[in-house]
Amino acid sequence: MHSTLCYNLQFNNPRGGAASSLYTRARKRGQRGQLWAGLTGRSRGLLALGEVCTACSVQNQGDGGIRTVSIGQIRGSEGRATDFDRDFNPIQDHTRDRWLGIAAARNRGRPLPPVALIQVGDHYFVRDGHHRISVARALGQQVIEAAVEIWQVDKPLPWEQQSQAPGRSYARNQEHSRTPSNGSRSALVLRWLSSMLRPAGREAAIQAGG
């Protein structure tokens, strides 16, 4: 009983404890993913809904209602594709405070509204609720409640068009165009090691300050 109470108090403390540890683990997964993406030339980023709007015309928009959506089907973002990777690990430091607040609210049992998603074909894009999805994923949740808006577009999505290009697959084109040189790989490794040290220093300063 005492250990459970201590855990809950730590988890609800947005400056430290279990919630902070959960965020740190998710952040490090995101950093490792970025390093791997840089080394292999294979993107781990979310798809950008803006690319759909640029390449396609939206023919119809409809209300898909509230439904349970597999987090694995949520592949993109309307405006925050650079804040989280494709597994919704945070990859920007400015996500921290909001992320911790959501994690603490989840532990208190506070009801959170459904996230807002846009469905285009088989893909879902986040309009609102990136942090809620990220926390849910970090807690091992497989599905999430969502208010869904359905878009019908007039042509295949941009990445689908590229994958249909003759001669080579989209994945191979991406790999060829973004595979870094040996010098770039070394720079990426050094940048990643530096970024891994900075959060540790910040956490130590926070704990020292109480």
pLDDT at 195: 56
Give the HSE-up count for residue 190: Cα atoms under 13 Å, Cβ half-sphere: 6
Separation between Cα atoms, residue 42 and residue 52, nearest integer Å: 20
Query: pLDDT category, 173, cuts 50, 70, 90?
Result: very low
Residue 60: both structure tokens together: 């119809």
pTM: 0.69
Query: pLDDT category, 141, cuts 50, 70, 90?
Result: very high
For residue 17, the SS3 value is helix
Between 17 and 185, whose confidence is greater? 17
- In the DSSP assignment, the letter for residue 181 is P
Q: What are the boundaries of each domain within the chain? A: 2-165+180-208
The pLDDT tens digits of the residues spanning 60-98 come to 899 999 999 999 999 999 989 999 999 999 999 999 999
**At residue 181, does pLDDT exceed 60?**
no
**Full strand arrangement of the beta sheet holding 123-128:** 47-48, 74-77, 123-128, 115-120, 143-153, 58-70
pLDDT at 163: 55
